């Protein structure tokens, strides 16, 4: 996988087990043996219901939590070996996250243009004219500098703040943006606008996005590649169109049957996965025992068996 020069990150056998409690510790396997790669400018959707492990994968990529097993390599380098302050700073220059609630990212006491001052102060950004560069990045995300900069966060909408964060990522020439439920706070009309901007900006700047979502329709709308997660496992992976036209795993099939309208939030909890699906997955794994993860056509792979499935 890494031989392809367009690959910026490889995720190999990624596993995260959370331990909670001290006397009678409980272990939650939030992600298990997840593998995929991320290419320049590629938009990847990480799709699954609540509790399926999507955010965990995003946090592992962002080095916010420790990997239990497996590896993440950024441009060939194991990210667990990125430890000293200077290297970590360099990593965050190129790998960033935008979360569901943009208000949480901004300090309410400061005007929003401070996020730009901060990156110019902290990183050696190679722009001759700082204000011209900011203006161009804001143009790219359809924001008017005069109406945006100089405002406090509460004077802007969630969509405008998210677009500011995308502009910041573009200015920093980010390689990978982890966008966790990026647009779920926005109303339906703003959502499509932010998504279109994201797609256009990625293609123009070569920024890859890991787009974490509950929403299959949004996944289809934005992404080149889809990763379907179920109970911490990647159960289907590949070209978005191929998966959507020919879903194979029983869980993916169920998702397509239960698909909500575009932009609607998917609020089912993992505990509420219908009994039928659990049984169907069981039967599927039993019928395909020993097969594991198989590429069924170019750029479309499916988990056919999981001996630990319960
Ligand atoms: N810090 C933690 N300690 C213990 N368990 C955790 C922790 N963080 C997540 N989990 C558990 O790991 C599993 C996966 O959680 P994760 O947040 O990755 O799911 P998700 O698919 O992103 O869900 P959502 O869409 O609701 O955000 C869940 O069972 C969750 O309860």
Is residue 310 assigned to a domain? no
Residue 8 pLDDT > 60: yes
Q: How many domains is the chain partitioned into structurally?
A: 1
Tell me whether residue 63 is in a domain.
Answer: yes
Banded model confidence at residue 262, pLDDT cuts 50, 70, 90: very low
Q: Give CA 137 to chain center in angstroms.
A: 22
Residue 45 domain-assigned (yes or no): yes
pLDDT at 113 over 50: yes
Predicted structure pTM score: 0.88
Which tens digits make up the pLDDT trace of 13-35? 999 999 988 888 999 999 999 99
| Separation of CA 48 and ligand 1 centre (Å) | 12
Q: Is residue 197 part of a domain?
A: yes
**Could you identify the atom of ligand 1 that is nearest to the CA of residue 31?**
14
Task: Please indicate whether residue 30, judged by its CB atom, sits closer than 6 Å to ligand 1.
Answer: yes
Tens digit of each residue's pLDDT (9 = 90 or more) over 89-107: 999 999 999 887 777 788 8
Residue 143: which domain range?
Answer: 7-303
CATH number at 53 reads 3.40.50.300
Pick the residue whose CA is nearest to atom 17 on ligand 1: 55
Q: Give the C-alpha separation, 98 to 113, whole Å.
A: 17
Q: Does any domain span residue 308? A: no
**Cα separation of 87 and 236, whole Å?**
34
Which residue's CA is the closest to the ligand 1 atom numbered 24? 50
**Pocket lining: 18 vs ligand 1, CB cutoff 6 Å:** yes
Domain presence at residue 309: no
pLDDT at 259: 59
Domain-located, residue 1: no
CB 182 within 8 A of CB 153: no
């Amino acid at each position: 996988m890494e031989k392809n020069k367009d690959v910026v990150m490889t995720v190999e056998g990624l596993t995260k087990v959370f331990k909670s409690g001290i006397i009678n510790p409980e272990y939650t396997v939030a992600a298990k043996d997840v593998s995929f790669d991320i290419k320049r400018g590629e938009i990847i959707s990480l799709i699954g219901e609540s509790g399926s492990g999507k955010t965990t994968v995003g946090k592992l990529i962002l080095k916010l939590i420790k990997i239990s097993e497996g590896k993440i390599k950024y441009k060939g380098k194991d990210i667990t070996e990125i430890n000293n302050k200077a290297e970590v700073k360099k990593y965050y220059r190129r790998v960033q996250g935008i979360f569901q609630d943009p208000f949480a990212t901004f300090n309410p006491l400061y005007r929003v243009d401070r996020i730009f001052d901060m990156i110019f102060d902290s990183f050696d950004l190679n722009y001759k004219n700082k204000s011209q560069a900011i203006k161009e990045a804001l143009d790219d995300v359809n924001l008017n500098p005069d109406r945006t900069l100089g405002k406090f966060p509460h004077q802007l909408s969630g969509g405008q703040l998210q677009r500011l964060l995308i502009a910041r990522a573009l200015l920093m020439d980010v390689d990978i943006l982890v966008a966790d439920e990026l647009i779920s706070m926005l109303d339906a009309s703003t959502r499509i606008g932010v998504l279109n901007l994201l797609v256009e900006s990625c293609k123009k700047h070569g920024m890859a996005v890991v787009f974490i979502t509950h929403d299959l329709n949004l996944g289809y709308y934005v992404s080149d590649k889809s990763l379907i997660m179920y109970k911490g496992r990647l159960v289907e992976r590949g070209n978005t169109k191929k998966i959507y036209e020919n879903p194979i795993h029983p869980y993916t099939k169920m998702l397509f049957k239960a698909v909500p309208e575009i932009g609607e939030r998917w609020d089912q909890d993992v505990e509420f996965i219908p009994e039928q699906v659990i049984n169907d997955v069981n039967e599927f794994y039993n019928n395909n025992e020993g097969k594991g993860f198989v590429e069924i056509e170019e750029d479309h792979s499916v988990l056919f068996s999981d001996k630990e499935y319960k």
